[in-house]
Amino acid sequence: MTTAFEPLPASLWEDLRRASVATLSTALIRRGLRATMMAGIFPLRAGVRLMGEALTVRYVPMREDLADPNLLANPDYPQRKAIETIGPGQVLVIDARGDAHAGVLGEILIARMMRRGAAGLVTDGAVRDAGGIRALDWPVFAAGAHPAQHTDRHLAVGMNEPVACGGVLVMPGDVLVGDDDGVVVLPRALAAEIARAAREQDELEAFVLEKIQGGSSIVGVYPPGEATRAEFARRQGHPSA
């Protein structure tokens, strides 16, 4: 299944580079969107940043009569097909049903996605070859690591369809952002608006942190009152604010 989307504005990615996952979650909650923050999924290597558009793969439980030894040689097998079709700026999102008792994929397939320009991997399952993946210094967010091949527990049955990951609905083309706090999903139609609001909030909070570190009380500063907001506006070059 191939889905065509209108391109997202370039400003979205600039805003996201300057907005934390924590602040994005606040911006989403303020708009009534609470079911957007994944649970139990963290970066395999601390400090990496993830941003990109979702390409999804859905796993179901493996059953012994379907464990075909030739499965992984089939180019149409959804896991293999996703690896070979993922494009620049896309994040592979694998719905593993929260089952971390086998790796959804490993270092070799990660290396292939990197060569194709993909932006990262997110799964509520485990990955294998964890040490090698960490050495690649590429955004991989997972529920853990496990040495077993994915077909020990999983069968890939769908690609580019709605999936659940970390307890959150992910639609193909949604925007995913990850940092050390975890992963948040921005609905594609609202992504630019949310990213802009989060960037502005993070800029204000950086100013507040500077004041606190300089010795200010939190009273009237965090949360910022009118005087603090006016001071921030002047700092931003809006003297009439």
State the pLDDT at residue 74.
96
Residues 217, 127 share a domain: no
Parallel, antiparallel or unpaired: strands 175-179 and 182-186: antiparallel
Give pLDDT tens digits for 106-117: 999 999 999 999
CATH code at position 80 = 3.50.30.40
Residues 116, 70 share a domain: yes
What do you get for the CA distance between the two ends of the chain, in Å?
Answer: 51
What is the residue type of 15? Answer: D
pLDDT band at 202 (very low <50, low <70, confident <90, very high): confident
Residue 93 within a domain? yes
Give pLDDT tens digits for 113-138: 999 999 999 999 999 999 999 999 99
Residues 143, 207 share a domain: no
193 pLDDT exceeds 70?
Answer: yes
Residues 75, 94 share a domain: yes
149 pLDDT exceeds 80?
Answer: yes
Residue 4 within a domain? no
Residues 231, 148 share a domain: no
Nearest to 121 by CA among 187, 23, 38: 38
State the pLDDT at residue 239.
57
> Which residue segment(s) compose the domain that 207 sits in?
194-235
Mean pLDDT, the chain, rounded, equals: 94
61 pLDDT exceeds 90?
Answer: yes
State the pLDDT at residue 93.
99
Residues 162, 131 share a domain: yes
Residues 169, 60 share a domain: yes
State the pLDDT at residue 223.
86
Taking CA atoms, 176 is separated from 134, 172, 230, in Å, by 20, 11, 33
Is residue 121 classed as helix, strand or coil in its secondary structure? Answer: strand
At what angle are helices 226-235 and 191-213 packed, to 10 degrees? 100
Do 154 and 125 contact (CB within 8 A), yes or no?
A: yes
pLDDT band at 92 (very low <50, low <70, confident <90, very high): very high
Residue 221 within a domain? yes
State the pLDDT at residue 238.
66
Q: Report which DSSP code applies to 188.
A: G
Instruction: Quote the number of domains for the chain.
Output: 2
At 204, give phi and psi (nearest 5°).
Answer: -65, -45
Residues 210, 100 share a domain: no
Residue 28 within a domain? no
147 pLDDT exceeds 60?
Answer: yes
Do 55 and 186 contact (CB within 8 A), yes or no?
A: no
Residue 206 within a domain? yes
169 pLDDT exceeds 50?
Answer: yes
Residues 208, 182 share a domain: no
240 pLDDT exceeds 60?
Answer: no
Do 174 and 187 contact (CB within 8 A), yes or no?
A: yes
Residues 163, 85 share a domain: yes
Residues 38, 128 share a domain: yes
Residues 200, 105 share a domain: no
What's the mean pLDDT in 210-231? 90
Residue 182 within a domain? yes
Give pLDDT tens digits for 43-53: 999 999 999 99
Match 């570190």 to its residue by tokens. Answer: 213
